[in-house]
Amino acid sequence: MIIGLTGSIASGKSTVANMLKEYGLPIVDADVVARLVVEPGTSTLQKIVEAFGEDALTEDGAMNRQKIGAIIFNDEVKRKVLNGIIHPAIRQEMLRQRDEHVENGEKTVVMDIPLLFESKLQHFVEKILVVSVSEETQLKRLMERNQLSEGDAKARIQTQLSLSVKEQGADAVINNNGTIEETAQQLETILRNWNVI
């Protein structure tokens, strides 16, 4: 079974991903893959240099995230160019890792995709697990975690689909407003229901 794990900023998705690791489940992590595909020497990084010039690199040949961030922040066209290079590479590598785990005999693979719904990647997975919190909890956690003002935290939250919309597309929802133990208990119940454990 391929499980898609998602949530929103400060919903506790990483906490649940770590719990899934403790069950020994292989995890394909979109954030890790996103860094992997632009490492020095990759064709993806070469395409970025072709599109954005040598300025796209740091002195040691890595992607210059600050420079590129500054370029695409105010330029919708250039952001689309960058996404057009990076997103297909990320998807290809995630599918490669998923298929490799399956070929190695893994019965269950978790695909940790923060923007699963936003990127319309539901077809990558068979079951969707959403880690959700109340809006108040999400705002409070994000402000504390990232030292943000309420306005800045709200602006970040609003760049993603609301958790209530994600819950509607989920096969199961973990309510992460309570304690770690309560979250772990919910996860265990879901994994049992899905015959994973």
Q: Is 44 annotated as a binding residue?
A: no
Is 178 within any annotated ligand binding site? no
164 labelled ligand-binding: no
Q: Quote the CA–CA distance of 108 and 1 in Å, as a whole number.
A: 5
Question: Can you tell me the distance from the alpha carbon of 89 to that of 63, in angstroms, rounded to the nearest whole number?
Answer: 15
10 labelled ligand-binding: yes
- 175 — phi, psi (to 5°)? -85, 110
| 98 vs 92: CA distance, rounded Å | 10
Nearest-angstrom CA–CA distance, 50 and 54: 8
Residue-by-residue DSSP string for 3-35: EEEE--TTSSHHHHHHHHHHTT--EEEHHHHHH
Region of 24 (left: φ > 0; alpha: ψ -120 to 50; beta: rest) is left
Q: Name the CA dihedral angle for 71, 73, 76, 79, rounded to a multiple of 10 degrees.
A: 70
Which residues are part of a known binding site?
10-15
Which residues are part of a known binding site for ATP?
10-15
